[in-house]
Amino acid sequence: MPQRATAYSAGYDIAAAETVVIQPGKIALIPTGIKVKLGRYEYLELISRSSLPRKRHLVMPNSIGIIDSDYYPHEIMGQFWNIGQVPAVINAGDRIMQGIFRSYLLTDDDVATGARSGGFGSTGGN
């Protein structure tokens, strides 16, 4: 279960649920074993732990991850790119991201009516 490290930590530390090896130059999804229910105007922001680029040469290719409230019941996955020269090993239990709960507002003329049809990266059609 994700936990905050200190009383003033904004983010909950999120760990890998299984061991994953990412080859140099490759991108991989790392399972977390976590599913989250969010309110209508809430989302979970995923941010890479600051030590990953320096210690393991891993970055999130899109900089952050956004978990929308309609993503449930899908498992949260971390997307990481190995920018190093050697395989990067993420072991089960290694903390890889922080999750920060956020709320948002809608514009007065918002007309979004679409519905999610899948899991990771499914709403953009790319």
Domain range list for the chain: 12-102
The architecture CATH gives domain 12-102? Distorted Sandwich (2.70)
In the predicted structure, residue 16 carries a pLDDT above the cut 90: yes
Cβ-proximal residues to 110 (8 Å cutoff; 6+ apart), any chain: none
CB atoms closer than 10 angstroms to residue 82: 21
H helices within 24-81, ranges in order?
Answer: 51-56
Query: What pLDDT does residue 116 have?
Result: 67
pLDDT (tens digit per residue) in 25-65? 999 999 999 999 999 999 999 999 999 999 999 999 999 99
**Average pLDDT score over residue span 84-112:** 97
pTM confidence score: 0.87
Torsion 17-21-122-95 (CA) sign: positive
Query: What pLDDT does residue 24 have?
Result: 99
CB atoms closer than 10 angstroms to residue 80: 26
In the predicted structure, residue 10 carries a pLDDT above the cut 90: yes
Query: What pLDDT does residue 1 have?
Result: 86
**Average pLDDT score over residue span 75-80:** 98
